[in-house]
Amino acid sequence: MAVLEISNLHAEVAEEGGETILEGVDLEVESGEIHALMGPNGSGKSTTAKVIAGHPAYEVTGGEVLIHLEDGDFGEDFEIPADKRTWNLLDLEPNERAALGVFLGFQYPAEIEGVTMVNFLRTALNAKLEERDELFEDEDEAEAESEDTNEDAAGYDTSPMEGPADEGEVSVAEFQQLLQEKMEQLDMDESFANRYLNAGFSGGEKKQNEVLQAAILEPSIAVLDEIDSGLDIDRLQDVSKGINALRDEQGTGILQITHYQRILDYVEPDHVHVMLDGQIAKSGGPELAEKLEDEGYDWVREDVFEAA
């Protein structure tokens, strides 16, 4: 079981005199749990997601974002050494954060022509696995391996571009099977995966792709920012079904960022948090989301004001 632990996180816009946006965010999400992060526009929800992801527009000025791991988080055979169980994501590159099992939204490579969804997903999965192996490789092994590269006498890499999968990589055939399994779980149409990335997915299809990518990468924790925005009710139900499957089938913990209560009718949260002015102002169970639906956010602000 993995735990994402955000404590006293402070961040500002990364420019001269940049505005402070996060003013001490505390939040803990375990694998298998669904947390809803709600709050009015401009309260800092997306900034929280982007800071977890390592977005360069923000500078972290205090606090920590830790991931705690244990054996089993990366499958039965993957042992996690005692000194590599806790990582501060803030010290890592975005792709390293992903490799440790934190999924931070769909990366849309708009520039790539003629690449199908299926090829893109397989590449993303292999890149993640390779990055993870590097993070957990012990240093002696790494050194031995670096002497054993495919270089010719002049130092050019002679590895074939295509061909059989490298050691530890998911082959085309293995990937086809994995994809089929996941698409069945998500109740997605098979034609989806064979479409080209630049084929102009609709807003709703992009959201479904985001869920599919999370299903393929099998993260311990997925941060989904407004995945419900702009969806009609049918698409909302499809996407919700997918999110529930992430939790139920692979034990992914979900941090579901949303302005509206609507999606929480389909993806029932275990915990609900309200963000105000760059802090978590209130936390509770599903009943908190219902109260927000009925009464809006003003009473939370009044509560906080009275307590201060």
Q: Are 89 and 52 in contact (CB under 8 A)?
A: yes
How many residues bind ligand ADP (CB under 6 A)? The answer is 12
Q: Are 214 and 252 in contact (CB under 8 A)?
A: yes
Query: Can you tell me the distance from the alpha carbon of 55 to that of 58, in angstroms, rounded to the nearest whole number?
Result: 6
Q: Binding to Mg ion by residue 237, rule CB under 5 A?
A: no
Q: Are 261 and 290 in contact (CB under 8 A)?
A: yes
Q: Binding to ligand ADP by residue 13, rule CB under 6 A?
A: yes
Helix axes of 298-307 and 286-295: crossing angle, nearest 10 degrees: 110
> In this chain, which of 2, 12, 38, 39 binds ligand ADP, going by CB under 6 A?
39
Query: Can you tell me the distance from the alpha carbon of 129 to that of 113, in angstroms, rounded to the nearest whole number?
Result: 24
**In the complex with ligand ADP, which residue's Cβ is closer, 41 or 146?**
41
Q: Binding to ligand ADP by residue 47, rule CB under 6 A?
A: yes
Q: Binding to ligand ADP by residue 41, rule CB under 6 A?
A: yes
Q: How many Cα atoms within 13 Å fall on the side-chain side of residue 194?
A: 5
> In this chain, which of 31, 43, 220, 252 binds ligand ADP, going by CB under 6 A?
43
Site for Mg ion in 20-59 (CB under 5 A): 45-46
Distance in Å, CB of 114 to ligand ADP, minimum: 33
**Environment class of 15 (CB within 10 Å of its CB; exposed 0-12, middle 13-18, buried 19+):** exposed
Site string for ligand ADP, 51-90 (x = CB under 6 A): ------x---------------------------------
Q: Which positions lie near ligand ADP, rule CB under 6 A?
A: 13, 19, 21, 39, 41-47, 57
Q: Which positions lie near Mg ion, rule CB under 5 A?
A: 45-46
